[in-house]
Structure 1
């Protein structure tokens, strides 16, 4: 850890705790930040020579160089907060994607009330549907509205047979999935409406 030079203002207060002489609390904040952020190679250099380099890594890009340390730190933290907010705003919606296990613990099979499973759920672009099933008895076929209504696989958008399929909802609109073995007589199918945001 860096030593505090005796000639540095407030040095004695830092070394012996804040006492009745604490007239400049901003210097305390400055000293503590310096002690934690400066590297060992600066050990022999008086701390006050580093006043303009308080935040070594991000200070040069985000923090202004005001004469008042507290004002500078305040602006720095505000700038960092603003940068984080901007980053959150521009992140793709997939960063907030939800994962849904179709049929919950029952999985993708017949004799499951899939309409009840869908009830109350709102799907967005980037969400993921996970179909877990016995691949010797079931499959997952992505079809159009006609294929969904008539249990037809004449026009498909994807066929999945792994038994543990993860399908990302990449665009807004209606998505239809059926099991080609049990759609017709066991009603094993779901229709999912995907919202853009």
Structure 2
């Protein structure tokens, strides 16, 4: 009888974990960077009025033959440089989960970042 009680407690714990995980995932928001215009020049102002949370998903829509998305540090963002080993996205429909704190993204095509194709997002 004690084994059955222990099994029920374990099942209840597993169920609670699944429900909490589902609830956490349901809280994540999805944002299309640049809105209907997509990932393009001068998207920096797109973040105004939005409150981002860790776990939210950014969708970058663009033509992969003329743009990309690179996750960079603040230094890479400020100088429009792609550090060695940086994560480069090239699908044209990239989905990137925000981490807590500062998140920086640039386009690494020549002149694009300097032309305003970069975005900095703080996720709480």
TM-score range with shorter-chain normalisation? 0.7 to 0.9
Which ranges of 4 or more aligned residues in structure 1 deviate by more than 3 Å? 89-92
Tell me, which stretches of 5 or more residues in structure 2 are unaligned?
1-7, 9-15
**Alignment RMSD (CA, Å):** 2.0
- 2:97 — aligned with what? 168
Q: Are 1:140 and 1:177, in contact at CA under 8 Å, matched by a contact in 2?
A: yes
2:106 aligns with 178
Contact 2:60–2:94, Cα closer than 8 Å, also in 1: yes
Q: TM-score with structure 1 length normalisation?
A: 0.50
Tell me, yes or no, if structure 1 residue 104 matches structure 2 residue 38.
no
Structure 2 CA distance for aligned equivalents of residues 101 and 156 of structure 1: 25
The structure carrying a bigger helix percent of its residues is: 1
What is the number of equivalent residue pairs in this alignment?
106
Aligned to 1:149: 78
Unaligned runs of 5+ in 1: 1-60, 62-85
- Mapped contact 1:142–1:156 kept (Cα < 8 A): no
More strand by share: 2
Tell which has more relative contact order, 1 or 2 (C-alpha 8 A, sep 6+).
2
Determine the structure 1 residue equivalent to 2:24.
93
Q: 2:122 & 2:64 partners in 1: Cα distance?
A: 26
